[in-house]
Structure 1
Amino acid sequence: MHAEESVPPKIPLQDFFRIPKAAEYTLSANGKYLAFLAPWNDRLNVWVEDTAGGVPKRLTSVTDRDLGGVAWKGNDTVLFEKDSGGDENYHLFAIARTGGEPKELTPFPGVKVSVIDDLEDTPDQILIETNQRNKEVFDAYLLNVVTGKLELVAQNPGNISSWITDWDGRIRAATTTDGVNTSLLYRATEKDAWKTVLTTNFKESFDPECFSFDNKHLYGISNIGRDKSAAVELDPETGKEVRTIYENADVDVSHIGYSKQRKVLTLVTYTDWKPEIKFLDKKTEDAYQKLQTELPGYQVSRTGADRPEENYVVLTSSDRTLGSYYLFNVDSGALRKLDDLGPWIQESQMAEMKPVEYQARDGVTIHGYLTLPKGRAPKHLPVIVNPHGGPWARDQWGFNPEVQFLANRGYAVFQPNYRGSTGYGRKFWELSFKQWGGTMQDDVTDGTRWLIDQGIADPSRVAIYGASYGGYATLEAVVKEPNLYAAAVDYVGVSNLLTFLNTIPPYWKQGLDMMHVMIGDPQKDKSWLETHSPALNADKIRTPLFVAQGANDPRVNVNESNQIVSALRKRGVSVEYMVKQNEGHGFSNQENQFDFYSAMEKFLDQHMNGQTRTTAER
């Protein structure tokens, strides 16, 4: 802590969780128009404005749920997505830039859609995938965004998990899932039969990102024959890598950037403790350096461009701001601010997110983040341990409204990237297999004890809070360590591994054999799964618990939360339970977020006074 830092004022909860002032700016093909999301009646709706300036025009009037997925088709049509009450069955809509009624392009109940290719050279048509024929798999269709006409282009034989188009918009590659094996399929033309060019166990894979610009090779991310995923070029005729574009010795490469206009690869991205870029192209590097000079102290990313790639939409971000959007002209260097996502957030009042690492009990190094409350000495602080969801994901450096809210309330927030967290290589990922409640859980416990041993955490004031897998880790923490945590908050978390594996969405079933390898097989591993299911071991829970759940959650069925609450209440244990009927896997509507975080704040205030557990009990 710097000596000059003072404790910031208590910031209204709503400022952390209200919907952004503006989001998802995107440029039309000719660069003359911007589409974006902004609030109307407390919901994110679609707006447009001229890049030359002027008054923004609202196109939609939705009041039940935020819109998302804003994109242009050409210069005159704006596309957007919307689900129903958090069910994640996203439908696609189109609306004219000049206004009018939105047209629902995929009006199929219980069906999910996503865009494969915007086909920028084909007027009025895009390539999409939907599971309308069979809820478990996605077929590819040409969709006319004006008339809504659908034309089947490729029917899924049952095992295709993704379709890949070449630069002419033709589907010429696909990935498949068969049990625990994944394959790459390829065809020279759409008239040719598919041929399998590469098959691996799912622990190794080549994930295509795009075709080479002559449409002959594929660029993608691969961990085949290596621990850390690398950016590579692959010949689909042979299934062999022809070159390594970039690899990092310490972490996985995550993405390959390109210029379609200039037909060059521009960059690759990876995450150390912060997001990093390796440039492959001087023009792109020069543009980023200009931006970094103009916008010092922020991460800068290009989120969109016009078709000639003369103008970029740029997003700045950091650990202490929601960020700002800018319009950047590549040649002139002209930079114009479009808007702030959250102008009500004062950077100077936010806390710094710092990288930490510690040793788990078996010697494995675990990385994570620690955010200390601003203006307070890092000694004997109340701490919120916050394991991330996924679990095969990771926490990253950047603005996190939950973390900043809790830090503003005087808590230190600890986010461990326990084993299995992605980005750290294949071996670290595989250490998590069949370890829900095992060594993955030990990593969280060991991190908590490390904070206590360092003198940062007050052992009588440590709580645990997580969502999704993080909710499971929260429940398992208070089963396995009933005296370690003063309070626990489970948000849309799994409570019974057996019922969870039996209630996954239909479109996850392709990967069920992999889930059995990674989590456990309900037949072969029944005993392990039962032992590590909090709902079946609720008699061990002594920690005050608050549970929150969306009734329409497609990933973690509401019955997961019902089970743990019921098991505790049958024992006469008090547990706070919040269910929102119009939400899914996490709350989207801001009034529901306000309710949840307000209830969580009161719950933590009540139990984090140091008297719920004595130091001796720990």
Structure 2
Amino acid sequence: MPRPTRFARLLACGAAAAALMLPGLTFAEPSPAITAGAAMTTQAQSAPLIPRDALFGNPTRAAGQISPDGQWLSWLAPKDGVLNIWVAPADNPDAARAMTNATDRPIRQHFWSPDSRAVMYIQDKGGDENFLLYRVDVTSGAETTVTPFENTRVQLVGGSTTIKDKLLLGLNNRDPQWHDVYLLDITTGELELVLENNAYAGFMADDSLTLRMAMQQNEAGGTDYFRVTDNAVEETPFETTAMEDSLSTAPAGYTTDGTTLYWLDSRNRNTAALYAQDTATGERRLIAENDKADIGSTLRDPVTGEVEAYAVNYLTTEWTATDPETRASLDWLDQRLDGDFGVNSRTDDDSVWIVWNDPLTKPVATYIYDRAASTLTPFYVSRPELEGMPLQVMHPVEIASRDGLILPSYLTLPPGSDADGNGKPDKPVPMVLLVHGGPWARDGYGFNSAHQLLANRGYAVLSVNFRGSTGFGKDFINAGNKQWGLKMHDDLIDATQWAIDQGIAQADKVAIMGGSYGGYATLAGLTFTPEAFACGVDIVGPSNLETLLSTIPPYWAPLVKTFHERMGNPNTEEGLALLRAASPLYKADKIVKPLLIAQGANDPRVKQAESDQIVNAMKSAGVPVTYVLYPDEGHGFARPENSIAFYAIAENFLAECIGGRAEPLGDALEPSSAEIVEGEDHVKGLTAALGG
């Protein structure tokens, strides 16, 4: 698709590769009082406390965009305490008005219609991930539900730079397993069926909104790619991947004229390279490659769809421009911006970019870059309240696993703990091992709210790209196949031991924490290696891999082979035994360290039963646990009131366990929906906060 930066990342929902990923958490305002555990360093105790709402509450502004015609600016900002879409004329940003009226769940992403006449967004209900598409007319302010269906999840199949009043959508309202393709008239809302789908996991179109490709998982767990002609799918695939390439090879879109198809491709190699394929002859041309990391993303010309630059993200992100004018612009920005930067949005004529800038130890800022005038105008700072706060440097590090695999990782230290700035504290400190979700995802370099909060509370924070993480080549991904609770877990243990051996972490004061797969890793850490961690915090983590796979959402069914090949096939005796052996549920009686569990009741990925069953098993074994349930949330927390309630509990839990500082709970739970199902007496102040 010619403009992936504007459309694809906003509406492409439900990829199996991100099946267990945890959405970002948001948080609200804490009490000013502080409690501190004995393990706190003097320097960390004296550092100003960063309020939770400054890191995790509603941003002042976020997700800035410019309309394709350059006439409008848009962004997300609070209205009556809930994130909504705001719009202003590009030549008068102060004349902003709220375009939406969300009153419960925040709107977290939006995009412009190609004709610049409307802003559009997706929203689900209570975290159920049945995302519907909405349109708001910029002139009249009228809002319409573009996909007015129940239990339906919209996908964007195609957008166009030349057909500005249409989009191709995928809708699974007929059969929850399959997305039929419809042509949407953005102005009238009319939906015209293009292709009824009963076999394919996804589709790709060109700029003429003509379907060109269908994707289907094959028996090996890879992907078959079929040409589509006159809305009919050919019988024989023109490209195919094996399972080993399924998470590192994918088409990256057509040029506007449809003559070139780009691929990010790891076939016959390790890391994914960028190729251009002639759609008529099938001939492929190598554009870029890197021996340490995959080519991760591209910057494309808004009109032609041709690649102008590409990015490689090993420890940090590095952009390389293939187009001279783009290179000049990136160089110009690099000279004026500290830290990392990227492009949020562009006009169709490519004259104006909306650029984000992460200075790493300052709040993220967004600018309006006029390429013709060579001006960089401040747009907004997302969290101005972080100005002057003791934000800490994130250190990229390489850690060797016991079998020699290099694990790209990120370390943040408490304020004042590293006098010479060499990335090691002057003496060991308590540590939180913060494990990413996915597991087919990755941690990255840059401002990280969780790192900053935990470091500010007195902890070293270590995030590890364990085997199975994406972005480092297919060998690294496939080293994690069927290694849940085995070598994937060993990597986390090895990284923890590295931190202890390096004098970073106190051996008896390491907590493990994470969401989704990171929640699973927490449960695995406390069951498989019960003495390795002082405590754990599990957010929406699966406890039983057998029941996890039996309850996946129906729209993931076309991709289920990936799960079976990478985790274990429950339909075979060997696979079922592997899944059960890797399930913390069956070893719940081995837990001897404090555990905090948080769960969204509407989670479609990791069902509430995953947390319920391990809590019940721990109760039966007489093992204490604290369990917090959110009846209006899904896979993670969208509402700031719920997030702040969770983190208020979590930091008091960690302070008791490994000795950092924490703010008393106070009334943090009152505005939230948090229900303490079990163990309120195991967290300091929790009983009192509940009125007990």
Q: What's the counterpart of residue 167 of structure 1? A: 207
| 1:370/1:415 contact within 8 Å kept | yes
SS of equivalent to 1:139: strand
Aligned ranges for residues 268-279 of structure 1 at < 5 Å? 268-279=310-321
SS of equivalent to 1:472: helix
In structure 2, C-alpha distance between the alignment counterparts of 1:5 and 1:64, rounded to whole Å: 37
Q: What's the counterpart of residue 616 of structure 1? A: none
**1:137 aligned to 2:178?**
yes
SS of equivalent to 1:21: coil
Q: What's the counterpart of residue 199 of structure 1? A: 240
In structure 1, C-alpha distance between the alignment counterparts of 2:283 and 2:520, rounded to whole Å: 39
**Cα deviations by residue, 1:162-186 (Å, 9 ceiling, x for unpaired):** 2222222211122221332311112
| 1:298/1:317 contact within 8 Å kept | yes
**1:593 aligned to 2:633?**
no
**1:221 aligned to 2:264?**
yes
SS of equivalent to 2:442: coil
Please point out which of 590, 593, 596 is paired with 1:543.
593
Q: What's the counterpart of residue 78 of structure 2? A: 39
Q: What's the counterpart of residue 385 of structure 1? A: 433
Which deviates more from structure 2 when the two are superposed, residues 91-100 or residues 418-427? Answer: 91-100
How far the C-alpha of 1:418 sits from its partner, in A, is 0.6
**1:49 aligned to 2:114?**
no
How far the C-alpha of 1:321 sits from its partner, in A, is 3.8
| 1:6/1:375 contact within 8 Å kept | no
How far the C-alpha of 1:118 sits from its partner, in A, is 2.9
Aligned ranges for residues 109-120 of structure 1 at < 5 Å? 109-120=150-161
In structure 1, C-alpha distance between the alignment counterparts of 2:388 and 2:606, rounded to whole Å: 35
In structure 2, C-alpha distance between the alignment counterparts of 1:482 and 1:187, rounded to whole Å: 53
How far the C-alpha of 1:470 sits from its partner, in A, is 0.5
**1:24 aligned to 2:63?**
yes
Q: What's the counterpart of residue 329 of structure 2? A: 287
| 1:253/1:269 contact within 8 Å kept | yes
**1:302 aligned to 2:343?**
yes
Q: What's the counterpart of residue 512 of structure 1? A: 560
| 1:177/1:511 contact within 8 Å kept | yes
**Which AA in structure 2 matches 1:339?**
Y
SS of equivalent to 2:245: coil
Q: What's the counterpart of residue 499 of structure 2? A: 451
In structure 2, C-alpha distance between the alignment counterparts of 1:148 and 1:66, rounded to whole Å: 24
Q: What's the counterpart of residue 405 of structure 1? A: 453
Please point out which of 219, 224, 232 is paired with 1:183.
224
Q: Decide whether aligned partners of structure 1 residues 322 and 508 sit closer, same or farther in structure 2, where only a CA change above 3 A counts.
A: farther
**1:476 aligned to 2:524?**
yes
How far the C-alpha of 1:444 sits from its partner, in A, is 0.3
Which deviates more from structure 2 when the two are superposed, residues 173-182 or residues 336-345? Answer: 173-182
**Which AA in structure 1 matches 2:351?**
E
Q: Decide whether aligned partners of structure 1 residues 268 and 123 sit closer, same or farther in structure 2, where only a CA change above 3 A counts.
A: closer
In structure 1, C-alpha distance between the alignment counterparts of 2:404 and 2:271, rounded to whole Å: 20
Please point out which of 438, 446, 454 is paired with 2:486.
438
How far the C-alpha of 1:112 sits from its partner, in A, is 0.5
In structure 1, C-alpha distance between the alignment counterparts of 2:650 and 2:402, rounded to whole Å: 31
**Which AA in structure 1 matches 2:411?**
L
Q: Decide whether aligned partners of structure 1 residues 137 and 87 sit closer, same or farther in structure 2, where only a CA change above 3 A counts.
A: same
Please point out which of 193, 218, 243 is paired with 1:152.
193
**1:343 aligned to 2:384?**
yes
**Cα deviations by residue, 1:111-148 (Å, 9 ceiling, x for unpaired):** 00122223343343221111111111212111122332
Q: Decide whether aligned partners of structure 1 residues 139 and 320 sit closer, same or farther in structure 2, where only a CA change above 3 A counts.
A: farther
| 1:385/1:465 contact within 8 Å kept | yes
SS of equivalent to 2:101: coil
SS of equivalent to 1:15: helix
In structure 1, C-alpha distance between the alignment counterparts of 2:305 and 2:582, rounded to whole Å: 51
How far the C-alpha of 1:188 sits from its partner, in A, is 5.7
Q: Decide whether aligned partners of structure 1 residues 263 and 221 sit closer, same or farther in structure 2, where only a CA change above 3 A counts.
A: closer
In structure 2, C-alpha distance between the alignment counterparts of 1:348 and 1:497, rounded to whole Å: 42
Q: Decide whether aligned partners of structure 1 residues 288 and 347 sit closer, same or farther in structure 2, where only a CA change above 3 A counts.
A: farther
Question: What are structure 2's unaligned runs of at least 5 residues?
Answer: 1-42, 419-424, 661-681, 683-692
Question: What are structure 1's unaligned runs of at least 5 residues?
Answer: 613-618
In structure 2, C-alpha distance between the alignment counterparts of 1:111 and 1:585, rounded to whole Å: 17
How far the C-alpha of 1:96 sits from its partner, in A, is 1.1
In structure 2, C-alpha distance between the alignment counterparts of 1:22 and 1:288, rounded to whole Å: 24
How far the C-alpha of 1:264 sits from its partner, in A, is 3.5
Q: TM-score, with normalisation over the residues of structure 2?
A: 0.84
Which deviates more from structure 2 when the two are superposed, residues 20-29 or residues 84-93? Answer: 20-29
In structure 2, C-alpha distance between the alignment counterparts of 1:263 and 1:140, rounded to whole Å: 23
In structure 1, C-alpha distance between the alignment counterparts of 2:139 and 2:103, rounded to whole Å: 21
In structure 1, C-alpha distance between the alignment counterparts of 2:80 and 2:305, rounded to whole Å: 43
How far the C-alpha of 1:12 sits from its partner, in A, is 1.4
| 2:392/2:455 contact within 8 Å kept | yes
Please point out which of 290, 309, 328 is paired with 1:267.
309
Please point out which of 603, 617, 620 is paired with 1:567.
617
Greater length-normalized contact order (CA 8 Å, ≥ 6 residues apart): 2
| 2:226/2:237 contact within 8 Å kept | yes
Q: What's the counterpart of residue 111 of structure 2? A: 71
In structure 2, C-alpha distance between the alignment counterparts of 1:195 and 1:526, rounded to whole Å: 33
In structure 1, C-alpha distance between the alignment counterparts of 2:612 and 2:313, rounded to whole Å: 37
SS of equivalent to 1:420: coil
Please point out which of 615, 628, 634 is paired with 1:584.
634
How far the C-alpha of 1:376 sits from its partner, in A, is 1.3
Q: What's the counterpart of residue 48 of structure 2? A: 9
| 1:223/1:229 contact within 8 Å kept | yes
In structure 2, C-alpha distance between the alignment counterparts of 1:246 and 1:252, rounded to whole Å: 10
How far the C-alpha of 1:189 sits from its partner, in A, is 5.4
| 1:355/1:370 contact within 8 Å kept | yes
**Which AA in structure 1 matches 2:591?**
I
**Which AA in structure 2 matches 1:598?**
A
How far the C-alpha of 1:71 sits from its partner, in A, is 1.4
**Which AA in structure 2 matches 1:150?**
L
What's the Cα RMSD here? 2.0
In structure 2, C-alpha distance between the alignment counterparts of 1:261 and 1:309, rounded to whole Å: 8
**Which AA in structure 1 matches 2:64?**
Y
**1:83 aligned to 2:124?**
yes
In structure 2, C-alpha distance between the alignment counterparts of 1:589 and 1:177, rounded to whole Å: 35
The number of residues matched between the two structures is 606
Q: TM-score, with normalisation over the residues of structure 1?
A: 0.94
How far the C-alpha of 1:99 sits from its partner, in A, is 4.0
Identity %: 35
**Which AA in structure 1 matches 2:315?**
W
| 1:119/1:127 contact within 8 Å kept | no
How far the C-alpha of 1:8 sits from its partner, in A, is 2.6
SS of equivalent to 2:55: helix
**Cα deviations by residue, 1:287-321 (Å, 9 ceiling, x for unpaired):** 111222222x1212111111111111111114334
| 2:194/2:231 contact within 8 Å kept | no
| 1:264/1:281 contact within 8 Å kept | no
| 2:363/2:387 contact within 8 Å kept | no
| 1:29/1:306 contact within 8 Å kept | yes
Q: Decide whether aligned partners of structure 1 residues 475 and 241 sit closer, same or farther in structure 2, where only a CA change above 3 A counts.
A: farther
